[in-house]
Amino acid sequence: SVTDSFIAGLPKAELHLHIEGSLEPELMFALAERNGITIPFDSVEAVRAAYDFSNLQDFLDIYYAGAEVLRTAADFRDLAVAYFDRAVADGVVHAEIFFDPQTHTDRSIPFATVITGLLDGMADAEARHGLTSKLILCFLRHLSEEAAFATLAEAEPWLDRIAGVGLDSSEVGHPPAKFQRVFAAAAEKGLKRVAHAGEEGPPEYVREALDLLAIDRLDHGNRSLEDAALTARLAREGMTLTVCPLSNVKLCNVASMDVHPIDTMLRQGLRATVNSDDPAYFGGYIAANYQAAARARGLSRDDVVTLARNSFLGSFLDDAAVAAHL
């Protein structure tokens, strides 16, 4: 069996991490105090007790409320520094992190405040730990196409520091097709493209992400397994799936870790990776995700090494940097 120290010691890339989802309750309280904001909880324990979700929307409501304590560039830097420090302890050597600018610009926090803080945190992680990182700007799919285009326009001065665009938030009812034109515009600017699909939405949403958004990487993708032809296509095309086991169980998209499909994905030839999604909300960082999935599904050391190797193959690092990590 695979030990915790083997997993923690294995160099890995994190490819599916919402930085706002790494806001631990302790930091939430500290930032609320620093910014003179009151939050509707009496204690860290009360916050954690509220993290009991039945589905994605349940979680998103609490996640967007939690983000309200983030106000200044220093807040975003401290958030990122805390995540990177924690990730290093789990053996992460490279991280491609999502941020949700609309969650902040819709509360009148300037785009520049958000991104300068995050970039400061990224520089700090590289200086102190040698951890490399990239930023992926996510559009909130429950908002309009027009709002996504406005966000892409705001990102224009920062495009040399943004690796790609993504698509997150409430999936069902907001198919990838809604964002076809904004993804095409992002592609023309040289940005990579990823999208959450098949987390709660049907296999058809995964097909749309492939065919209409021309994604370079698929976030979650679990429901692809319901469609054998789609699964075969993902394997044939070498598409990377960023799977998030603890998230899947916490959001009730998988009944329990004992029936998580991570091993099925590997056996079907999918380039699956393991990631932490929103670790402050879902009960563990990346090593805990590897451990829980490996234990429940009986993964071998070779399987775990394959997952870590896939994380570099699926990253947006250049070929020389990927080769240096394999």
CB under 5 to 8 A by kind: which of ligand ES4, Zn ion, none does 207 bind? none
Site string for ligand ES4, 60-79 (x = CB under 6 A): ---x----------------
**Is the Cβ–Cβ distance between 279 and 90 less than 8 Å?**
no
Q: Is 278 annotated as a binding residue?
A: yes
Among 278, 280, 285, 316, binds ligand ES4 (CB under 6 A): 278
226 catalytically annotated: no
Among 12, 14, 19, 21, binds ligand ES4 (CB under 6 A): 21
Q: Does 277 bind Zn ion (CB under 5 A)?
A: yes
Nearest 10 degrees: Cα torsion 121, 123, 124, 130:
130
- Starting at the edge strand found earlier in the chain, the sheet holding 192-197 runs 12-14, 92-99, 132-140, 164-168, 192-197, 217-220, 240-243, 271-274
What are the two backbone dihedrals, phi and then psi, of residue 94, each rounded to the nearest 5 degrees?
A: -150, 135
Q: Which is nearer to ligand ES4, 196 or 271 (CB)?
A: 196
Among 75, 90, 96, 168, binds ligand ES4 (CB under 6 A): 168
Q: Which is nearer to ligand ES4, 57 or 306 (CB)?
A: 57
Among 13, 27, 31, 56, binds ligand ES4 (CB under 6 A): 56
- What distances in angstroms separate CA 8 from CA 19, 241, 259, 306, 322, one per listed residue? 21, 21, 23, 15, 20
Q: Does 20 bind Zn ion (CB under 5 A)?
A: no
Which of the residues are catalytic?
199
In the complex, which residues of this chain contact ligand ES4 (CB under 6 A)? Answer: 18, 21, 56, 63, 168-169, 196, 199, 247, 277-278
